[in-house]
């Protein structure tokens, strides 16, 4: 056999191995992408049938109306998105949709106090102090929903957030066997929605894995599993514009 023939076979064999490796990697990438997209479709589809207008939950008398934090302005007042959530929650409380409001946010007593700003805003809206519970350790959506159940002993809750964010919160509640109703607080379109939506795509995957895996690493805080301290959740318009449920 000539040297040229041997070299040709070596090159062909090497090319074949590289091609099989590339094909295997490509299949794995496509499989993972399919799983990730499937998770998002599952979360969106599951939550789309559990979105309610505030007036539809009047006199529901749930245990808590859970208001998820959304950051503060530079002056320490609620951001526009958070203000929408607080306005919606106040309307729900006044319509007797829940017995109390649970204000869940991130708090650093020295520099940042989200829950205090939420409480002040609601007091100015006419909500009595005795009607509000404070959770300063609601550092992310998973923590907030988990602590509503474990720390504040809720069995039925109304979750208030922008619509796009509610799908994930409702999925977490369902996984934790917490009866929840989602009320969108959307009143205005927001800039940078595509950036926020891309973050939410990955956040849904993270929370589904966290909710379903018994081996997911957890931090222990206040004597209960409080969850991983992920960065502040962002809010924006929904990727898919599911309508609020109508009777």
Query: How confident is the model over 112-158, as pLDDT tens digits?
Result: 889 999 999 999 999 999 999 999 988 889 989 999 999 999 999 99
Which helix H or strand E contains 111, and what residues bound it?
none
Q: How many CB atoms lie within 10 A of CB 136?
A: 17
Long-range contacts of 37-42 (CB under 8 A, 24+ apart): 39/204, 39/205, 39/208, 40/201, 40/204, 40/205, 40/239, 42/208
Q: Which residues contact 76 (CB under 8 A, 6 or more apart)?
A: 113, 117
pLDDT in tens, 42-91: 999 888 889 999 999 999 999 999 999 998 998 889 999 899 999 999 99
Angstrom distance (rounded) from CA 159 to CA 141:
11
Tokens read off for 159: 């979750």
Residue from 136, 148, 139 nearest 227 by CA: 139
Q: Bin 223: left if φ > 0, else alpha if -120 < ψ < 50, else beta.
A: left
Q: What kind and span of H or E run contains 225?
A: strand 224-225
pLDDT digits (tens, 9 = 90+) for 158-171: 999 998 899 999 99
The rounded distance, in Å, linking the Cα atoms of 92 and 104 is: 16
Contacts of 70 (CB under 8 A, 6+ apart): 78, 79, 81, 82, 85, 161, 162, 233, 235
């Amino acid at each position: 056999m000539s040297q040229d023939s041997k070299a040709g076979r070596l090159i062909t064999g090497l090319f074949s191995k590289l091609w099989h490796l590339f094909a295997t990697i490509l299949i794995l990438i496509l499989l993972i992408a399919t799983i990730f997209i499937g998770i998002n479709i599952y979360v969106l589809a599951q939550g789309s049938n559990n979105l309610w207008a505030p007036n539809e939950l009047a006199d529901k008398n749930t245990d808590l109306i859970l208001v998820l934090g959304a950051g503060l302005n530079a002056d320490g007042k609620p951001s526009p998105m958070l203000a929408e959530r607080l306005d919606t929650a106040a309307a729900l409380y006044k319509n007797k949709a829940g017995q109390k409001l649970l204000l869940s946010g991130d708090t650093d007593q020295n520099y940042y106090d989200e829950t205090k700003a939420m409480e002040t805003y609601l007091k100015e809206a006419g909500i009595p102090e005795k009607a509000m519970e404070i959770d300063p350790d609601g550092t992310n959506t998973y923590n907030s929903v988990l602590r509503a159940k474990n720390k504040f002993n809720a069995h039925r809750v109304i979750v208030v957030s922008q619509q796009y964010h509610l799908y994930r919160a409702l999925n977490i509640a369902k996984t934790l066997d917490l009866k929840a109703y989602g009320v969108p607080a959307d009143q205005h379109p927001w800039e940078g929605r595509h950036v926020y939506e891309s973050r939410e795509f990955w956040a849904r995957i993270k929370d589904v894995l966290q909710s379903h895996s018994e081996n997911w690493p957890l931090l222990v805080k206040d004597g209960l599993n409080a969850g991983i301290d992920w960065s502040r959740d962002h809010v924006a318009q929904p990727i898919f514009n599911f309508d609020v449920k109508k009777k």
